[in-house]
Structure 1
Amino acid sequence: MYKLTFIFTLFSSISLSQTLIGKIDGASITLEDGNYEVIFQSESDYVSFYINHGAGKENGLEALKTYVFRLFDEKEGDYLLQFEHDSLLLVYDDNKVQMILWRQHDGDQRFVSKWFGKTDYLELLGEIAIKDKI
């Protein structure tokens, strides 16, 4: 009985330490252990990277939101965001934005996401929650 209680407590504490920010088909963002984990589907597999969860300018999720939505407003261009371990290139084309992860800031180690529209990013970045998509 004690083993069962211990296992339940362990799994409960693990699951409570992760907070879902947003999830869409092909990507998700969670807050875990003081950092945001971004996971997206690349051409062949899922890749993930971490961004800072600090205050003000140190909050990587706020930076990501700012530049993604700036691309939708400007309707052209790209932005390169440099996080602690990786860089993220955001590219706009035809009302969609794509994330390109440069592992260890190296453009040769590149992972490319699907193209996502503004509503997708609103949901992914936790700005809206769409329960039933039509």
Structure 2
Amino acid sequence: MAAFSAWFWNERFWLPHNVTWADLADPAPGVEYPKAGHLFAAFPLALGIFAVRILFERGIASPCARSLHIQPGIGRRAQPNAVLEKVFTSITQNPDSRHLDGLSKQLDWEVRKIQRWFRHRRNQDKPSTHTKFCESM
């Protein structure tokens, strides 16, 4: 653990070439440097800002969206298919005609049905209009 600490707090990584940790420990009169303990103030502030955002989205933005008739709709889901899902995640989200023809023969589906599946699968990852409205408000 001591070796990791020595590596992590290496002066060459954190400080300019002409400054050492000893210089920061005993600053000149009237000069004050930030201390590591000051970082702990950032965590409660970040949690507070996050809580305010959640409360705003749920308490103000969401009712506002409903009053504007923006419904939290669930888009059309692509039917589960292991072969197409593997192609979607590992190869391409927009297959070309060569991929479509190969998948059509492999699954014994029409090319149009495979195109429709990919379109539905791409759209299911997109946030709804309601979510976009609440986050941008």
Q: TM over 0.5, yes or no?
A: no
Give the helix-richer structure, 1 or 2: 2
TM superposition score normalised by structure 2 = 0.19
Greater RCO structure (CA 8 Å; 6+ sep): 2
Q: Which structure has the larger Rg?
A: 2
**TM-score of the pair, normalised by structure 1:** 0.19
